Amino acid sequence: MIKNKIFLILIFVIILGIALYGLLPSFSNENLLPLECNLNKENCEYKFKDKMVKISLNPKPLQAMDITHLVVENLPEFENLKLELYGLNMDMGKIKPRLIRLENGNYISKIVLSLCSLEQMRFRGEFIQDNKPIGLHFDFDLTNR
């Protein structure tokens, strides 16, 4: 009787473990699609509210744990615009650099990108106002050398 209960509990735990494992997000490079524009090699433009917003990250190629200069050009002016950077294929928290608004919808910032154990980490930069995304984001890859 006790052996049957232990056996049933063991089977239940195994089935539950398999089910939960299938629900966990996969943090790997296997699911990454090629980028339309590679900010690691070139400056990129993104359509946002009938404007073409230019984003550049320098120096290229991007390096982890080094200062990266972000320049955003032709973005509509927002009050208290923020930027959040986070990994799409690995959760390492959020990087929240200070955006400095210049004139004519231009912004600059300095960023230090986190180092990751994966060979390639895909980051997303998302612009935020009043704790809500404005609808513009950019993705880029950082290769672990």
Residue 2 within any structural domain of the chain: no
Domain for residue 25, yes or no?
no
In this prediction, the residues of the chain whose per-residue pLDDT falls under 70 are: 7-8, 12-13, 16-30, 145
Looking at residue 130, its pLDDT comes to 93
The reported pLDDT for the residue numbered 31 is 72
Q: What CATH number should be reported for the domain holding residue 57?
A: 2.60.40.10
Q: Three-state SS string across the chain, please?
A: CHHHHHHHHHHHHHHHHHHHHHHCCCCCCCCCCCCCCCCCCCCEEEEECCEEEEEEEECCCCCCCCEEEEEEECCCCCCCCEEEEEECCCCCCEECCCCEECCCCCEEEEEECCCCCCCEEEEEEEEEECCEEEEEEEEEEEECC
Give tens-digit pLDDT for 103-129.
888 999 999 998 888 889 999 999 999
pLDDT given for residue 22 in this prediction: 53
Cα 133 from Cα 88, distance rounded (Å)? 16
Which structural domain range is residue 88 located in?
A: 34-143
Looking at residue 26, what is its pLDDT? 47
In a domain, 128, yes or no: yes
Q: Is 12 within the bounds of a domain?
A: no
Structure tokens that stand for 35 in this block: 């980028």
Q: Does a structural domain hold residue 26?
A: no
65 within a domain of the structure (yes/no): yes
Is 92 within a domain? yes
pTM for this one?
A: 0.77
63, part of any domain: yes
- pLDDT number for residue 112: 96
